[in-house]
Amino acid sequence: MKSHRQELWFEIPDRRGFVNITDEVRAVVRDSDVREGLVLVNAMHITASVFVNDDERGLLADYERWLEELAPHEPTSRYRHNETGEDNGDAHLKRQIMGREVVVAITEGRLDFGPWEQIFYGEFDGRRPKRVLVKIIGD
Amino acid sequence: MKSHRQELWFEIPDRRGFVNITDEVRAVVRDSDVREGLVLVNAMHITASVFVNDDERGLLADYERWLEELAPHEPTSRYRHNETGEDNGDAHLKRQIMGREVVVAITEGRLDFGPWEQIFYGEFDGRRPKRVLVKIIGD
Amino acid sequence: MKSHRQELWFEIPDRRGFVNITDEVRAVVRDSDVREGLVLVNAMHITASVFVNDDERGLLADYERWLEELAPHEPTSRYRHNETGEDNGDAHLKRQIMGREVVVAITEGRLDFGPWEQIFYGEFDGRRPKRVLVKIIGD
């Protein structure tokens, strides 16, 4: 069994944002030399997500608006977590909706994806460097 | 390490629906000849889900109503994604609640499940053929 | 390829509660003797979750309140599932928000975590013994 590990770093200039990281993950799969296996892609921070969906600008705007409805940023006093001095209580909730991780099959050395599947990094408390872990196991 | 891959195809006659796919996944596990490992089961389309829950008709109706409350289909103009000519903006949101994938342990050649765990395909934009990927790795 | 399996048992005295299980999972990883691989940690019951987030008391209270807003326990007649004689319809919905499972990388024999990642068991229908499965594969 082979294994391979790489971190991807992001610094989103705003509080929230989505980044298509499919090509970066593809490059790690290539480097791993794994032909058949699984790749785990997970946010290493608890106010960010990794998820699979469509790379369509309107949809990403819909996610932004919808998450803000489900778990509004303001008033920040809404969240007991913010009594610690943070203002990111909402980000911990948004991340649960969008998920921490995806596991993707590797088949014949490639991401085994349907026609529209793309991997995204979702940031809910940005403006500082944060990491995504890519871990591959297989043969 | 062994690996095994199979696609399951579905064509749900309505916009939305849930299908218990546990037996199909079990059959793939059997075909794989893997005794100890992991099976990834994921929707290959971005308006569908794979999830684990109870096969109880009332519960599935509860999910349907609840998802429609959290991300209503109408008015379709509610979603910027629908400006592309689609009417499935809501389906992309519903799928994030229910999830893209499950990873299930294989132990002694079988799905390592609790008493009520069943695997479901959740369709949120049906009336066309769509796929689920089953990928197994192990020994 | 090595594999290792262990169950963790919980009996939460109230209907709902969160338990940090990171140390228990770490102990299983140690016992497995796997240096590079993946660990799957999943609730074996369909009214409970396993998720990764921050061990901060205010945040856990925020999750509790938010989940109760998104899927209220009462009136129990709100859920068709409860027509079966259960009163846990809400628990099946809350569990979908928080998730069934996490998959965590194992690197150099340890959970490959960011600075604040902690694994939690989330109970939404407690007061009886329930299980979490830890399944490890790797080398």
pLDDT digits (tens, 9 = 90+) for C63-115: 999 999 999 999 999 999 999 999 999 999 999 999 999 999 999 999 999 99
Note whether C14 and C125 are within 8 A (CB). Answer: no
Collapsing DSSP states into helix, strand and coil, what is residue C62? helix
pLDDT at A135 (0 to 100): 98
> Which chain B residue has the Cα nearest residue A70?
B70
Q: Between C105, C117, C137, which is nearest A135 by CB? A: C105
pLDDT at A88 (0 to 100): 98
pLDDT at B57 (0 to 100): 97
Collapsing DSSP states into helix, strand and coil, what is residue B87? coil
As a whole number, mean pLDDT of residues A72-97 equals 98
pLDDT at B67 (0 to 100): 98
Structure tokens at A130: 């944060």
% of chain A exceeding 70 in pLDDT: 100
Which chain A residues are Cβ-neighbours of C137 within 8 angstroms?
Answer: 137
The 10s digit of each residue's pLDDT in B14-34 is 999 999 999 999 999 999 999
As a whole number, mean pLDDT of residues B3-24 equals 98
pLDDT at B15 (0 to 100): 98
Interface test with A, best of B9, B44, B46, B104 (most A CBs within 10 A): B46
Determine the Cα–Cα distance for residues A12 and A23; give it in Å rounded to an integer: 18
Sheet of strand B37-43: strand arrangement = B2-10, B130-138, B37-43, B101-107, B110-111
pLDDT at A82 (0 to 100): 98
Query: For chain B, how far is it from start to end, CA to CA, in angstroms?
Result: 5
- Give B76's DSSP letter: G
Which chain A residues are Cβ-neighbours of B100 within 8 angstroms?
Answer: 51-52, 99, 102
As a whole number, mean pLDDT of residues A102-113 equals 98
CA neighbor of B63 nearest in space, from B132, B16, B114? B16
The 10s digit of each residue's pLDDT in B89-128 is 999 999 999 999 999 999 999 999 999 999 999 999 999 9
φ and ψ of C126, to 5 deg: -90, -150
% of chain A exceeding 90 in pLDDT: 100
Q: Tokens 């407690």 identify what position?
A: C126
Note whether C129 and C12 are within 8 A (CB). Answer: no
pLDDT at C46 (0 to 100): 98
Question: How large is the C-alpha radius of gyration of chain B?
Answer: 16
pLDDT at B53 (0 to 100): 97
Chain mean pLDDT for chain A: 98
Say yes or no for a CB contact (<8 Å) between C58 and A44.
Answer: no
> Beta-carbon neighbour count of residue A57 at 10 Å?
13
The 10s digit of each residue's pLDDT in C1-26 is 999 999 999 999 999 999 999 999 99
- In this prediction the ipTM stands at 0.97
pLDDT at C15 (0 to 100): 98
Helix H, strand E, coil C: the string for chain A is: CEEEEEEEEECCCCCCEEEECHHHHHHHHHHHCCCCEEEEEEECCCCEEEEEECCCHHHHHHHHHHHHHHCCCCCHHHCHHHHHCCCCHHHHHHHHHHCCEEEEEEECCEECCCCCCEEEEEECCCCCCEEEEEEEEEC
Note whether B119 and B21 are within 8 A (CB). Answer: yes
pLDDT at C60 (0 to 100): 98
> Beta-carbon neighbour count of residue B100 at 10 Å?
24
pLDDT at C41 (0 to 100): 98
Chain mean pLDDT for chain B: 98
pLDDT at C32 (0 to 100): 98
Q: Between B5, B70, B92, which is nearest A59 by CB? A: B92
pLDDT at C121 (0 to 100): 98
Determine the Cα–Cα distance for residues B87 and B68; give it in Å rounded to an integer: 14
Q: Find residues 20-79 of chain B whose CB sits inside 8 Å of chain A.
A: 38, 40, 42-46, 70-71, 79
One-letter amino acid identity for B62?
A: D
One-letter amino acid identity for C56?
A: E
> Beta-carbon neighbour count of residue A75 at 10 Å?
8
Q: Between C38, C46, C93, which is nearest B62 by CB? A: C93
Determine the Cα–Cα distance for residues A125 and A89; give it in Å rounded to an integer: 9
